[in-house]
Amino acid sequence: MVPNLASQKVEMLGCIPDTPNTLPAAEAAVNWITPLLVLGTVSIAATGTLLMLRRIKKIKLYQQAREKDPGLSWSVFSRKWKMSEARQIEENERERTAIIEKSLTKRWEHRLD
Query: Which has the closest alpha carbon to 48: 38, 56, 59, 37?
Result: 56
pLDDT at residue 10 in the model? 46
Q: pTM, whole model, 2 decimals? A: 0.50
pLDDT tens digits for range 73-92: 888 888 877 778 888 888 88
- The amino acid at residue 32 is W
The answer to whether the CB of 77 falls within 8 A of the CB of 60 is: no
Q: Write down the domain spans for the chain.
A: 32-82, 83-113
Find all residues with CB under 8 Å of 23, minimum gap 6, and list them: 31
pLDDT at residue 53 in the model? 97
Angle, vertex CA 96, rays to CA 66 and CA 84, nearest 5: 60
pLDDT at residue 28 in the model? 66
pLDDT exceeds cutoff 70 at 26: no
The answer to whether the CB of 97 falls within 8 A of the CB of 105 is: no
Name the average pLDDT for the chain.
Answer: 79
The answer to whether the CB of 40 falls within 8 A of the CB of 55 is: no
